[in-house]
Amino acid sequence: MFSSNPGPIGVFDSGYGGLTILKEIRRRLPQYDYIYLGDNARNPYGTRSFDVVYEFTRQAVETLFSKGCHLVILACNTASAKALRTIQQRDLPMWDSSRRVLGVVIPTVEALGSISKNGNIGVLGTPGTVSSGTYDIEIAKFFPQFRTVSVPCPMWVPLVENREYDCPGADYFVEKYVEELFASEPETDTLILACTHYPLLIDKIRKQVDGRATIVTQGELVAASLEDYLKRHPEMDIQCTKGGDCEYFTTENPDKFTESAEMFLHTPLKANHISF
Ligand code: DGL
């Protein structure tokens, strides 16, 4: 069904947010080829139901496999929380059990043990990620003694997607969600930005947190985890081509994607349109 030739590593997000992950992956593993796919036409995913996020993500992964990828990273917390397990358990065995789909939640949770001192973890994510309970469940599995408080931040993705993350209006929503979290648990010492869009708001978030907690972003953690995965799985490593190239696809207007993506990555690129 899919080509058995080696191909690029696929990186998927609902929109631009996954570029913050791609950037760190390419910094750490520049030798591989990549395809980035942003489903900008159907973004945001964070407010959508489980079934819809699963179906959209399944279509995106299938598209990336059709483009030659053997390994796909879901660089989106909402997709990782709501679709990853079903894709791994139900779809992969039907498609091709040698292909792999990995998410961003486990690499983030694994790192908490060396970051938190008092075990009070705060999670800021999309309504979908928070309501899925994925972080609470995974943190409880890895660190049963830790306590987790999660706050949904429904306005942060629209601020980033609409390039309003630097405007004074963004301050209001940053203060609102950060203070909601500290009001629930003033002892929070580790704050996970559990959405790949949020690093664009980091200056404002850092200012608001004002040293009360260590802020955890995911790009470097996911990149380190991918490097480790490829070392442990030479059979997958040989299926990943190494030419240092990256192609960009969006389900929306490619010119608009190109303009915004250049702002995220600080490098010129040319996006293509794709529909699935
Ligand atoms: N960037 C995605 C995440 O990490 C969500 C953005 C959206 O709501 O589509 O959760």
The whole-angstrom separation of Cα 1 and Cα 98 is 13
**Model confidence at 162: pLDDT above 90:** no
Question: In the predicted model, what is the mean pLDDT of residues 151-180?
Answer: 94
- Residue 17: CB within 6 Å of ligand 1? yes
Cβ neighbors of 255 (< 8 A, separation 6 or more) are: 271
**What distance lies between CA 205 and its chain's CA centroid?**
18
**Do the Cβ atoms of 104 and 74 come closer than 8 Å?**
yes
57-93 residues labelled b (16+ CB within 10 A) or e (exposed): bbebbbbbbebbbbbbbbbbbbbbbbbbeebeeebbe
**pLDDT for residue 264:** 84
- 3-class DSSP string for 191-250: EEECCCCHHHHHHHHHHHHCCCCEEECCHHHHHHHHHHHHHHCHHHHCCECCCCCEEEEE
pLDDT band (50, 70, 90) for residue 163: confident
Task: Read off the amino acid at residue 18.
Answer: G
Kindly give the distance from the C-alpha atom of residue 224 to the centroid of ligand 1, in angstroms, as a whole number. Answer: 21
**pLDDT for residue 172:** 96
The whole-angstrom separation of Cα 44 and Cα 152 is 14
Percent of the chain predicted with pLDDT > 90:
93
**pLDDT for residue 1:** 78
75 Cα nearest atom in ligand 1: 4
User: pTM score, two decimals?
Assistant: 0.94
Q: How confident is the model over 190-237, as pLDDT tens digits?
A: 999 999 999 999 999 999 999 999 999 999 999 999 999 999 999 999
Q: How confident is the model over 13-71, as pLDDT tens digits?
A: 999 999 999 999 999 999 999 999 999 999 999 889 999 999 999 999 999 999 999 99
Tokens (6 digits) for 249: 């696809």
Query: To 5 degrees, how large is the angle CA 159–CA 215–CA 156?
Result: 10
3-state secondary structure of 166: coil
Quick one: residue 82, left, alpha or beta (phi over 0 = left, psi -120 to 50 = alpha)? alpha
> Is 153 a known active-site residue?
no
**pLDDT for residue 161:** 81
Mean pLDDT of the chain: 96
**Do the Cβ atoms of 11 and 63 come closer than 8 Å?**
no
195 Cα nearest atom in ligand 1: 4
Tokens 């190239």 belong to residue: 245
> Is 69 a known active-site residue?
no
pLDDT band (50, 70, 90) for residue 10: very high
**Model confidence at 275: pLDDT above 90:** yes
